[in-house]
């Protein structure tokens, strides 16, 4: 599989939904496979909150593959011997695309809290500019899970003729209060960490020790990505062997797991980017800009495949089923699959074997 990593630079203004302008900006992206002669084999991959453009493959010297490595590659469900796959890093992130710690041109100081609030609409508008710069004006498919699924659906509504297919997993038509409440924990934990300094920290300030506020906020997020069943199976009521049961801060294995994973995450992910991205997730609503959700859904022309998971406690299956029911009533081309899973929201990243054939068959099926 041929892997290429790039950063695209844009000097033309990006007009944002808020009324503000981002100029200039850049987008980090990777491509896998080869573009065919008529550019009819392009698939766009959209990532979730903490993801990046590195969706598959292994960088030299790294031990961890891209976040959808089991799904994308030669002779896999998203087959890079047949398709030219483009995976982008959203604006606002901290993995190469323009975000709050990028320099506020023409100065050499970061935007920090002067960075504009972004929406999912803004993210896909930037991606469409990238594709246009690459000479790609039509897609075979757009695929994404969670926030990536939001992007896929937003593409379908805002640019109805842009892609033949939309495949959205573990997502929703509008972020609900339950999810916004989880995100609130992260937001407040970050804001009230004294080392956050109201966003005026230095670049790479948390590379060595991480930011405790982000780690705590990530615990809340991580709980929402799992399910009660998956946590019981993974940890049970096991206690850390060298922690005393009657020590006040003695830990169960689930507590140690949360500490370890979220502490590492806080060293890798920028806290301002985290705040800006969860704001984009919170404000996601397919009906914004249209008279109703029905009007927005009615705009979709792409063949749409919706995949939810029974154990998802972040974006419940009924939210995706609601989109499917509306599309069916409108006689639009929609398929809905509710996958039996007790893993939780992150099943779309972990239990690939349960839905890879659905994606493979959808991409191979014509019409």
d(Cα 305, Cα 166) in Å, to the nearest integer?
6
Let me know how long the chain is. Answer: 367
What residues contact residue 132 under an 8 Å CB cut-off, 6+ apart? none
d(Cα 229, Cα 355) in Å, to the nearest integer?
20
Answer left, alpha or beta for residue 73, where phi above 0 means left and psi between -120 and 50 means alpha. left
Active site annotation includes 87: no
d(Cα 172, Cα 157) in Å, to the nearest integer?
14
Annotated catalytic residue, options 53, 322, 324, 345: 345
Annotated catalytic residue, options 52, 146, 334, 362: 146
Is residue 11 a contact partner of residue 26, using CB atoms and an 8 Å limit? no
Is residue 94 a contact partner of residue 211, using CB atoms and an 8 Å limit? no
| Assigned token pair, 251 | 């830990």
Neighbours of 366 (CB within 10 A): 5
d(Cα 44, Cα 27) in Å, to the nearest integer?
14
Active site annotation includes 146: yes
Annotated catalytic residue, options 83, 312, 324, 341: 312
Active site annotation includes 312: yes
d(Cα 94, Cα 205) in Å, to the nearest integer?
14
Active site residues: 146, 312, 345
């Amino acid at each position: 599989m041929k892997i290429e990593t790039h950063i695209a630079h844009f000097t033309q203004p990006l007009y944002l939904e808020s009324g503000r302008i981002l100029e200039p900006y850049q987008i980090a992206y990777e491509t896998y496979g080869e573009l065919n002669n008529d550019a009819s084999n392009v698939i766009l991959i959209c990532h979730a909150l903490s993801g990046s453009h590195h969706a598959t493959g292994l960088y030299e010297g790294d031990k961890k593959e891209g976040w959808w490595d089991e799904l994308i590659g030669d002779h896999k469900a998203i087959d890079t011997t047949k398709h030219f796959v483009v995976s982008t890093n959203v604006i606002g992130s901290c993995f190469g695309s323009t975000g709050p710690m990028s320099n506020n041109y023409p100065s050499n100081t970061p935007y920090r809290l002067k960075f504009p609030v972004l929406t999912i609409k803004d993210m896909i508008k930037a991606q469409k500019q990238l594709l246009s710069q690459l000479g790609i004006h039509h897609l075979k498919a757009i695929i994404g899970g969670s926030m990536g699924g939001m992007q896929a659906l937003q593409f379908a509504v805002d640019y109805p003729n842009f892609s033949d297919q939309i495949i959205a997993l573990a997502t929703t038509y509008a972020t609900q209060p339950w999810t916004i409440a989880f995100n609130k924990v992260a937001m407040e934990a970050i804001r009230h960490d004294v080392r956050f300094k109201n966003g005026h920290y230095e670049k790479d300030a948390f590379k060595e020790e991480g930011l405790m506020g982000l780690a705590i906020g990530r615990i809340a997020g991580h709980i929402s990505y799992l399910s009660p069943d998956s946590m019981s199976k993974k940890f049970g009521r096991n206690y850390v062997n060298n922690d005393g049961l009657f020590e006040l801060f003695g830990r169960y294995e689930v507590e140690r797991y949360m500490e370890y994973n979220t502490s590492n995450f806080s060293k890798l992910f920028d806290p301002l980017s985290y705040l800006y991205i969860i704001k984009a997730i919170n404000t996601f609503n397919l009906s914004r800009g249209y008279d109703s959700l029905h009007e927005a859904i009615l705009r979709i022309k792409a063949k749409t495949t919706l995949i939810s998971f029974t154990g998802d406690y972040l974006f419940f299956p009924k939210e995706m089923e609601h989109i499917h029911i509306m599309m069916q009533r409108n006689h639009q081309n929609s398929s809905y699959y509710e996958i039996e899973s007790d893993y939780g929201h992150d099943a779309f990243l972990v239990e690939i074997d349960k839905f890879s054939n659905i994606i493979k068959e959808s991409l191979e099926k014509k019409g």
